[in-house]
Structure 1
């Protein structure tokens, strides 16, 4: 059998004696590989069982997901047998099993009543609710001879319950993990949804009694816990095999770069972090090297009949014309932002399509997002009929507004340390209003122009350029496992 060796930080994770170990703090540290490796230590034990959870099935079964990664690793073990149905799992010659499951909703945990899971693992713990974690902790038991335990990975999320759970290991002023505390074990007991901590089991009992004299906390209910810091710098195999991965992380927005590259648990989206005004390049006339255009719409159909103030009125319909230049830069060339009734919205969209075609030719793609449900489907069909003869792309909207804005934000800000980013904005009567809304995102009430801009950028990226894309560099298996 081929030898499989963890890297030093992964070894810290694998050798910890704590009941609960949370591994992570940034992207690229080899966290998923470590979760997959951990069960291999016990697969010679009959009746041993491990379950690795992701939030949904796609994260397990998609191309390059956890099941694909397990194929590369577990096939090296003689006699290991995979299966995909009725649920993905591996069975080993001893009868030990490693299963992959999802927990999409809080009530999904009740499907696990009466089960026994010796090794309970969560990939991206911040994707799971506190209720999910502690209910499944009650399923963490064993009769196979291996002491039951829990392992989890995560990236920083300031709004997740995990941020509070591991707060002792994180500097609350800077948001960065404290290196000296990485791997140190503390003890935790939970009663009536309240968590009590201590440096010893006795301290936990004392703290619980001090807070609630009627608290009944037995020593066997107390778990040892640790957090182990991991960043891309700990994954030298990945850095050597795919040096471009570091560049990808550096190209993220400031918020995402702080989280995924630097491991900041306190950073949150705030005004000026996504689209700072000083990072944009203002131009007085359009360049003549635009190779692709997209007119993206964020539709609203509520007329402002009461003439309310901008802060209190209904949503706007926004239409953004965004182009891609031959040199790779992006241009915001035109902005429509109005309150209209549904009939006026339809007429404005149609008239704008005709004007865009006359001004920019046939290289303009129209992009809209489809709202969920039957009403969204019917609206999409109506607009496809209305815009017959034009190039139109309507797809369901997914993810939060912040998530959808991140790709454009990365281009707007540019590389770390640069004076400006890669977005040009035409100076026009709408420019000040446009920059004001983007700079205030995500705190402002109205985000119509941001949504349309982000949608337009994503559509530009999906259009195949006339020239062939650069060839992708193949990654070797070793770097793939250690992501």
Structure 2
């Protein structure tokens, strides 16, 4: 008969009830029992250790033994591992913890952050401080990739780093473990989207902790859930789904921290940090940076008041941000007055040049709406081809000067980019009598909450300057295509739509021909 595994609380209670002599006897037994280098604690840590998921998110609360799990897998289950922190200085804690587990630093090369472990295993420690630092690890084989504090990484860094997973040993399992707490800044919100089935309370098909779900990347470059691990056709390619799961843990699950008073430390934190770190609450408030251009709550409110419509009303403008290649997407924001339709996107390869970009945007236009095109780079080619189709086009160059003032009449704008984003901010302001409605879209939320602003001197007055597209790319790890496509519809000098001329009726044609006259009195 298989005996049940005691919980951390049960083990701790048993130790507290022992006399000093009994504890000494247990210590003596453990010292001669030749235990493994590392074993997972009963409970969530053991569940994550034994989980069959390809990609695991472990943690939520602080103190659940997250770093310990990453090191334990590297020591016992994997052959060639790498554990990432966002900054190199943060690797010191991992080095110190591994030294305590092994009792020595033998085998560690601090210059290369490479540890040769017992049994011929190898552990590398890596950092990716800048968005493109993942290129340092391109093509290097690892059968295990661990991420310590996953919400500190950009989504693009995470996706690209796990894309190079491979091993030459068929007996070694390949897996990814992301450890971390709830995000404390808007930049980490992507984690809630990636594991939405477990973390989003509004998800249409929520998953239980430890439950496996399978995903593939569809033709739009988006995650698509599939029923199981059976390979599926995506376009013309047969793809093997990858499984994900989320396993929550807390300080109460960690035998070693339960007796140290660490829980009391977490209880003393201010809100919302206490809810995030103590209870692993992913829905606790995330504080915005002081100079964040658009408050997160304003965007969430605009998405909350959005309702899908059959009768959308006339399309007044469409913002088009063509992809500049790579992992960027082309995005089109269809505006109907104060209501925006769902953002339409396409991978960069689909809109790689002017003709294909024009072919993407043309079918989306309605009611003679103005096409506001980012006309730098590939956008200039798209602009020419869209014009060639006889469509109503308005070029947008973010670096151009702006002649507008903010609604207070006190500040100018450094350039058109600042102008259109600030006007978007004013349209999202909840004090606005008719605020806009935006479609629920996690990427759009990230795009619109990433820009920062500052007030600078311009001539004899003050001017608003906001983050450049490259600055935002460094924050998000990707281009803010959706946000830019929405913002372009707020450029101040957009002309009004040009409805197509009404088709002539047979009466018009008859009257214009000079032949015949229809006398209604005789009809």
What is the TM-score with the length of structure 1 in the denominator? 0.49
Task: Give 1 or 2 for the bigger CA radius of gyration.
Answer: 2
Q: Which has the higher contact order (CA 8 A, sep 6+)?
A: 1
